[in-house]
Structure 1
Amino acid sequence: MSNQRERAQQRVEEIAALPVYRDRNLALLTDLYQLTMMYGHFKAGRHEQRVVFDLFYRKNPCGNGYVIAAGLEQVVWYLHQLQFSVDDLAYLRSLDMFSEDFLEYLRDFRFRGDVYAVPEGTVVFPNEPLLRIEGAIAEVQLIESALLAFINHQSLIATKSRRIVEAAQTNVKHPGSAVIEMGLRRAQNADAAVFGTRAAFIGGCVATSNVLAAKSYDIPVAGTQGHSWIQSFPTELEAFEAYRAAFPENTVLLVDTYDVLRSGVPNAIRVGLAMKEAGQSLKGIRIDSGDLAYLSKRSRQMLNAAGLADVQIIASSDLDEYTIRDLLTQGAEIDSFGVGTRLITSTDCPALGCVYKLVAQQFGDRLEPRIKISENPNKVTNPGKKKVLRLYVDGAAVADLIALADEQYDPSEPLELFHPIHTYKRKVVQNYEIEELLVPVFIGGDLVYELPSLRSIQARVEHQLSAFSSEIRRHLNPHEYHVDLSQPLWDLKQRLLHQWRRSAQS
C-alpha cells in the first residue's frame, strides 16, 4: 500500500506541474452558500459531523444512451492542493460575514475525507454515483461546486466527442476517418478550451489544434493555415507555394478562400504535381465552407484525374455528428474531419446537469441514510452509502446494480433484477461476473489512486464500449440500459418515503 501511495503522490505532483495546473489556487472556486453553510455548521459545533454525498446525473445528454465519465484528474489535483491562502482569507474577512475563529479554522483547512470514484473513461448511466465523498460535513460541503464543474464539463465533452467520432467511423469510403478537435477559439474560456480538448481526446479525437493542450497532455497537434494566409499573398498559388516551401513534409492546403473548384483545387493540383516531380507529396487539402458533400466529391475526381489519388480531403465548417452522418450518407469523399464549435461547446446540449446530494449522515455511532423528497419521482434520491456493480454475462454488460455499500453478492447464485420505478419489469441474471465501478481515490485525505495516462483513459473508453450492445450505443433513440436498485436499497428507499408520509400527515 505504501508503494502505491508513493506512486500516486508522484503522479499527482507530475500533473500539478503542468501549465494548466501550476501555481493555481482554487480554494475560492465555490458558491457563497457553501461557505455560509460551512460557517453555520461551524458555529453550531457540528462541522466535524461525518456525512456521505453522491455526485451523479439524472439524464443522458444529447439524446445519448450513456455518458463517458471524465474530469477525475482535475478533481484529484484540486483536492490534493486545496487550502486557503492569506489573500483568500483576507478577502473573506473583507466580506464581514465570518468570525475570526472560523477564518482560523480555514487557515488550517485540508481535505481529509474519503473519495471513491469511477475511473475516467468508464461508461456510466443516470443516477449512478460517479463520486462518493465521505468526511466532515464542512469539508464535503465546501467542495461541491468545484467537483460538479470539473465532472460536468469534461464528461459532457467526452460524450459529445464520442458521438462525433462514431459518426465519422461510419465512413464506408474511407474507413478509419479521424476527427481533429479544433475548438479553441470557440470555447467559453481558456480552461474550457484546454480541458475540453483533454475530454475530446478521451472521447476518441486523434489530434488537436490547441497547442497548450497538446503540450500539457501529449496530444498530437495538427493545423495548416487560415484564410488570412492565402489573402496575404498576391495570388492563391503563391500562398500555396510559400506554404509548401515552409512545410514540405506536411503540406495541407486550404482551398476555399476564393473558389474551391475553379481556383483552390486547381492551384493545389499544380503544387501537388510539382511536389510529386520533386519526390515530395501533397498531404491534403482542406475545405472549410460551401456544400461539403458536392465539393469533396468533385475535388476527389479532380485530384484523381491529375494522378493525386493519395491526397487526402479534410473537411471543417461547423460539423457535428449529425452533419457528418448526412455528409457520409450523400457519399462525401472526406478522409478526416476538423470539428470545433459544436464539439467544444456541445452546442445542442451545453450542460450535463450533475448534482451533489447528501445520502447519509452520522448520528452517534450510526451512519443514518438520508433522502431528498420531490414531487418529481426522478428527483427522489437513493439514500445511504452505496456502490455500483456492473454485471457481465459472457463478457457483455447486461445490467448495473446500485446497491448499499455493505451488500455482498455471489455470482454463482441467480440474481433477480427489477426496474426501480416500474417494478413489474423483472429479469433473472445467472452465471454473471461483477465489476465494482467505484474505486478508492482518497482515504482519510491521503491519495491512494495512481492517475492513469490520457491514452490509457482513451483505451478504457474503447474497452468499455465494446461490452455494450449496438442498440445501447446508437445515437438516435438508444435502448435504455438496465440500471436497477438492489432489493435492500429499494426497501430502504420505500421505508424512508413511508416514514416521511406518516410524519407529514401527523
Structure 2
Amino acid sequence: MASLRPRLSSPGAFALPFDADALASLRVTLASRHANARAAFECSFVSLSESTGFVVLAGLEPLLETLERVRISAEDADWLVANGLWDEATAEAVGDMRLLVDVDAAAEGTAVFPGEAVLCIDGPLWQAQLVASLTLRTLGDASSVATRFARIAIAGDRAVDVVDVSSAREANAERACTLARAAFIGGASSTTSPHAASAFGIPLRARESPIGLGATRDREVSHRAWFQSSPAGALVYFEPSQPERSAERLAVAAEGNTADSWESRPFAVEIPGGHYVDLAEGLERAFAAREVPAPHIYVSGILDEFAVRELRREIPGMAGVCVDATRLSAVVQVRAEVVALEEDGRWSPRMRYADSLVACSDPGRKLVMRYFDAQGHPVADVAHATNERMQSARGVEFVDRVTGARTKVAAQRGAPLLSNVMRAGKRSVTADSLETVRNRAQTELGALSDREKRLTQPSRYPLGMTDALFALKTQLFEGSEDQLGAEEE
C-alpha cells in the first residue's frame, strides 16, 4: 500500500487527518449497498495491562476540532487516486465531503472503565467509519497519556510534583503539544513545551541543558547564572557521570541564592539518571556541608508509576519527577465497533461474535447510566437500550457484562454518562477550558475508591447491561450458533 504523507492545505491544518488504512477501506465501504445507510459505532477502551483499572478520558476536544475543520478537497482526492488508494468512483462519491455525523461522548476528564462505551458515532456508514478510525488514534493516545500521568500522581501520593518533559524527545511540536495537554489533564503540573504553554496556558518549566553546560569551563558560575536568569521553578542539571564534583559545584552555585529567596524560589536540581538514591544522598550531603538549605530534588529518565512509587519510598526528600510520555508504553487503546445498522428504515443490531457470550460485543444502540451512592461515589455503569425506560437509582439491577451474573446495587441517583457533543458534523456544546477538564479529572478520580485506583490488582468497577440488552445479545449469539450448526450439517 502506498505511504500516505499528510499535506497542509493551510498553515497548521492537515488536509488529510486520516491514515492510509482508513482511506483505503473507504473504497470498499463506498462500493457496498450500505454505504449511505445510517450506522452506529461505539468506541470503548481496551486495557493493555491487568493493572489498569480506570481510564482518564482525554483527547475529545482535539478530536472535535479536527472533525469540524476536516475536508477532503478535489486536490486531495486526485492525489489519493494517483497513489492507488482510491479509484475514480470513490473520489466522485466522496466529493467535497461534508460531515453529517452525530457524536455522543463522556465529558473529557471523566474517569471511565475498559469495556464500556465512552463515545458513540451515528451517521452515514462511510462517514461514521472515517470518524471511528480517527477516534482510535486521537482518544487512544491522549487517554493513555492522561491515565499514565494520573497513575504516576497516585504513586507519588499527590505530594510529588510531576513535570511533562515529552517535548525534549518529540520533534513534532504539534504532537508534543497534544501530549502535554493530555499529561496536564492527568495530573502534570507543568510542561517543557512552549507550544503547549502558549496554546493552553499550561505552566512552563525550564530545564538546564547539559549541552550548553558542557561548553563552559566554570560550571559553578554557569549553574548560578542559569538559576538566577531562568524562570521560577527552573531545574538545574546534575551530572551523574561526576556525582561528587557535580554535587559540590551545585552546592557552591546555591550559595549565591539569598536567604530571602529560598522560600519563594528553592534551588531545584534534576538528577537525569544513575543510582538515584545514592546521588540524592550525596547531593544533600554537599549542600549540608556548605550550610545551605537542601535542594528540591527532581528525578528524570524512563519513569513509570511503579518506579515513582519506589523512589518515593527511597528518597523522602524527592520533590518531583520529570516524565517523558514518549518513553512509556500505552496502557489502553480504543476499539470501535458497529453496534447497529439501518435497514429498510429500521435499526438492525450488530454484534462482534466470539467463542463465548460474555466475550461478544454488546449489540444495539444504547444509553449508559452512571449510578452514585449518597456520598457521590460511582457504584455502577449500566447500559440501557435506547427504547427502554431508564432504571430508577433505587435498586439498580443488571447483568454483569464480564461474568454474566445478575447483580443489584443500591444507589442514590443516576445520570447519563454520555451526552451529545456534535450534531450533523457541527459542535453542539461549548468547549470546556483545559482547567475545567483537569479539575473534572481530579474530582472524578477523587470519587473512586482506593481499591479501584490501586496500581496493581485494582478492584473491577461494575459494568452491566439491562435484562433487555442481555436478552438481545443472547438471542443473536444463539442464532449464530444455530446457523453454524446448520452449515456444519
Could you say whether these structures have the same fold, taking a TM-score greater than 0.5 normalized by the shorter chain as the test? yes
- Per the alignment, do residues 97 and 181 of structure 1 end up closer, same or farther by CA in structure 2, a change over 3 Å counting? closer
Question: In the alignment, residue 212 of structure 2 is paired with which amino acid?
Answer: W
286, 306, 315: which one pairs with 2:270? 286
**What's the counterpart of residue 308 of structure 1?**
292
Q: Percent identity?
A: 22
Cα distance in 2 for partners of 1:504, 1:275 equals 78
Cα distance in 2 for partners of 1:250, 1:157 equals 23
2:131 is the alignment partner of 1:149: no
- Per the alignment, do residues 391 and 249 of structure 1 end up closer, same or farther by CA in structure 2, a change over 3 Å counting? closer
Question: In the alignment, residue 287 of structure 1 is paired with which amino acid?
Answer: I
Spell out the pairing of 1:495-506 with structure 2 (5 A cutoff): 495-506=475-486
Question: In the alignment, residue 52 of structure 1 is paired with which amino acid?
Answer: A
**What's the counterpart of residue 198 of structure 2?**
215
1:304 Cα deviation after fit = 4.2
2:66 is the alignment partner of 1:83: no
**What's the counterpart of residue 405 of structure 1?**
386
Q: Matched residue of 2:333: which SS?
A: coil
Cα distance in 2 for partners of 1:196, 1:126 equals 21
238, 261, 273: which one pairs with 1:255? 238
Please list the CA deviations of residues 40-76 of structure 1 after superposition, one character each: whole Å capped at 9, or x if unmatched: 4444554221111111123354722111111111210
- Per the alignment, do residues 432 and 319 of structure 1 end up closer, same or farther by CA in structure 2, a change over 3 Å counting? same
1:244 Cα deviation after fit = 4.2
- Per the alignment, do residues 98 and 300 of structure 1 end up closer, same or farther by CA in structure 2, a change over 3 Å counting? closer
Cα distance in 1 for partners of 2:419, 2:113 equals 17
- Per the alignment, do residues 297 and 87 of structure 1 end up closer, same or farther by CA in structure 2, a change over 3 Å counting? same
Q: Matched residue of 2:250: which SS?
A: helix
2:213 is the alignment partner of 1:224: no
196, 200, 204: which one pairs with 2:179? 196
Cα distance in 2 for partners of 1:251, 1:446 equals 42
Q: Give yes or no for contact 1:58–1:378 (8 Å, CA) kept in 2.
A: no
Instruction: State TM-score, norm by structure 1.
Output: 0.86
- Per the alignment, do residues 188 and 416 of structure 1 end up closer, same or farther by CA in structure 2, a change over 3 Å counting? farther
- Per the alignment, do residues 456 and 327 of structure 1 end up closer, same or farther by CA in structure 2, a change over 3 Å counting? same
Q: Give yes or no for contact 1:121–1:457 (8 Å, CA) kept in 2.
A: yes
1:195 Cα deviation after fit = 1.4
**What's the counterpart of residue 391 of structure 1?**
371
Q: Give yes or no for contact 2:18–2:134 (8 Å, CA) kept in 1.
A: yes
Question: In the alignment, residue 75 of structure 1 is paired with which amino acid?
Answer: L
Please list the CA deviations of residues 257-306 of structure 1 after superposition, one character each: whole Å capped at 9, or x if unmatched: 5533x322322222222332797765322222322123223433443454
- Per the alignment, do residues 51 and 309 of structure 1 end up closer, same or farther by CA in structure 2, a change over 3 Å counting? same
**What's the counterpart of residue 15 of structure 1?**
none
80, 104, 107: which one pairs with 2:95? 107
1:477 Cα deviation after fit = 0.8
User: Gapped runs of 5+ residues in structure 2?
Assistant: 1-7
Q: Matched residue of 1:115: which SS?
A: strand
2:44 is the alignment partner of 1:56: yes
Q: Give yes or no for contact 1:55–1:356 (8 Å, CA) kept in 2.
A: yes
Q: Matched residue of 1:380: which SS?
A: coil
39, 43, 47: which one pairs with 2:35? 47
- After TM superposition, the structure 1 stretch with the greater mean CA deviation from structure 2, 243-252 or 196-205, is 243-252
Q: Give yes or no for contact 1:54–1:130 (8 Å, CA) kept in 2.
A: yes
1:251 Cα deviation after fit = 6.2
Cα distance in 1 for partners of 2:287, 2:250 equals 9
**What's the counterpart of residue 269 of structure 1?**
251
Please list the CA deviations of residues 84-143 of structure 1 after superposition, one character each: whole Å capped at 9, or x if unmatched: 123211112314565545423322211111110111111111221121101111211222
Please list the CA deviations of residues 316-338 of structure 1 after superposition, one character each: whole Å capped at 9, or x if unmatched: 23222112211222244211111
- After TM superposition, the structure 1 stretch with the greater mean CA deviation from structure 2, 109-118 or 326-335, is 326-335
2:313 is the alignment partner of 1:329: yes
Spell out the pairing of 1:18-57 with structure 2 (5 A cutoff): 23-27=12-16, 29-32=18-21, 34-57=22-45
Question: In the alignment, residue 272 of structure 1 is paired with which amino acid?
Answer: A
2:51 is the alignment partner of 1:66: no
Please list the CA deviations of residues 333-358 of structure 1 after superposition, one character each: whole Å capped at 9, or x if unmatched: 21111122xx33423xx362311111
Q: Give yes or no for contact 1:187–1:345 (8 Å, CA) kept in 2.
A: no
**What's the counterpart of residue 10 of structure 1?**
none
Question: In the alignment, residue 400 of structure 2 is paired with which amino acid?
Answer: H
**What's the counterpart of residue 235 of structure 1?**
218
Question: In the alignment, residue 316 of structure 1 is paired with which amino acid?
Answer: S
Cα distance in 2 for partners of 1:383, 1:334 equals 49
Give aligned pairs, total.
475
Cα distance in 1 for partners of 2:372, 2:437 equals 21
Q: Give yes or no for contact 1:294–1:332 (8 Å, CA) kept in 2.
A: no
Instruction: State TM-score, norm by structure 2.
Output: 0.89
370, 384, 398: which one pairs with 1:417? 398
**What's the counterpart of residue 168 of structure 1?**
156
Q: Matched residue of 1:285: which SS?
A: strand
Aligned CA RMSD, in angstroms, stands at: 2.6
Cα distance in 1 for partners of 2:240, 2:475 equals 67
Please list the CA deviations of residues 439-496 of structure 1 after superposition, one character each: whole Å capped at 9, or x if unmatched: 1011222320222111111111111112211001010111111111111111110011
User: Gapped runs of 5+ residues in structure 1?
Assistant: 1-18, 171-175
